[in-house]
Amino acid sequence: MVLALGCVLGIGLLLAVSPFLWPRPTAGAGPSRLATLARDRLTQAGLHSVTLPTLVVVSLVAGLATTALAFALVPVTALAACAGAAGVLLPALVIRSQARSRRRVNRAVWPDIVDHLLSAVRAGMALPDSVSALAHTGPASVRREFASFECDYRATGNFGLSLDNLKDRLADPVADRVLETMRMSREVGGSELTTVLRNLAVYLRQDSAVRAEVEARQSWVLNAARLGVAAPWIILALLSTRPEAATAYNSATGVALIVGGLVVSVIAYRVMLGIGRMPEEQRWFR
C-alpha cells in the first residue's frame, strides 16, 4: 500500500512539473513570451523602429549611469546598486507608461473606427476598401498603420496577410477583435456583419466608459502606492549623505537592511498595483 501511494505521489509530481521539463513543441524557433511582450510594448508606445537589442543596451547604459551617479552623491554601495537596478528598469517602465497612455487614447477612438467601417460596409464597399479607407477618414492616431495596410494590400492582394501585418503594427487587443471580425466575415460570408459591428461599437463604448470611471476612482490608490514606496528611499538617501550614516549602511547589517527594504518595497508596490489597477486586456489573436 505504501509503495502504491509513493508511486501515485511520484506520478503526480512528475505531471505537475512536466510542463516546465518538457514544454510544448512549437513550429520553428519563435520568439519567447517575454520578447513578444516587449515587442508589443514598443509597438504600443509608438517606438516601431526600436529593436529589442537596442532596448537592452539602453537599459544597461542607464543602469551604469545611475549607479555611478548614485555612488558619487551617496557613497553607499548597496544603495548605489539599488539605484542601478532601478536605472536598468527605467526605460522599460517609461515604455510601459507610454504604451498604457496610448492604449487609453486608442480605446476611446476604436468605437469611431468601427462606425467608419460600418458606414463603409453599408455603402457597399468591399472589406479591403473599407479598411483601407481608414487611412484617410479614420482617427489621426491610427492613420499611419492603416496607410501601411493599404500599401500592403495593393502590393500583395492578400487580405489575410495584410490584416496580420496590421495587427502586428497596432498590437492592440481591441484591434485584434475588430480585424478578426472582418477576416471571418470575408472568409465565411454572411449578412450579419453590420449587426456585429454595431453591437461591437456599443460594447466598446460601454467598456471604455466603465474603465475610465474605475481608473478615475482608483487613481488615488496608485498615487498612494508610489508615494509610500518613494518616501522611505528619499529619506534613506538624505541620511546616507552623512559620513557616519554612510559607514553604517556600508556594513553587513546595513546592506542586509537595504536589501530587505528593497524586497519589501517591491512586494508592497506590486500588491498595491494589483489592488488599484484594472487588469489589462490580453491579445488572444496573433
Give per-10-residue mean pLDDT for the chain (286 aa).
69 70 49 74 79 88 91 87 89 86 81 87 84 85 88 88 87 84 76 81 85 78 81 87 87 88 86 73 67
**3-state SS of the chain?**
CHHHHHHHHHHHHHHHHHHHHCCCCCCCCCCCHHHHHHHHHHHHCCCCCCCHHHHHHHHHHHHHHHHHHHHHHCCCHHHHHHHHHHHHHHHHHHHHHHHHHHHHHHHHHHHHHHHHHHHHHHCCCCHHHHHHHHHHHCCHHHHHHHHHHHHHHHHHCCHHHHHHHHHHHHCCHHHHHHHHHHHHHHHHCCCCHHHHHHHHHHHHHHHHHHHHHHHHHHHHHHHHHHHHHHHHHHHHHHHCCCHHHHHHHCCHHHHHHHHHHHHHHHHHHHHHHHHHCCCCCCCCCC
CB of 113 closer than 8 Å to CB of 101 = no
CB of 211 closer than 8 Å to CB of 192 = no
- The pLDDT assigned to 61 comes to 92
Round to whole Å and give the CA distance between 247 and 243.
6
- The pLDDT assigned to 24 comes to 54
- The pLDDT assigned to 66 comes to 92
CB of 122 closer than 8 Å to CB of 105 = no
Round to whole Å and give the CA distance between 203 and 24.
35
- The pLDDT assigned to 65 comes to 92
Residues in the chain, overall count:
286
- The pLDDT assigned to 25 comes to 47
Nearest to 85 by CA among 233, 235, 240: 233
Round to whole Å and give the CA distance between 97 and 277.
13
CB of 42 closer than 8 Å to CB of 58 = no
- The pLDDT assigned to 22 comes to 59
- The pLDDT assigned to 104 comes to 80
- The pLDDT assigned to 64 comes to 92
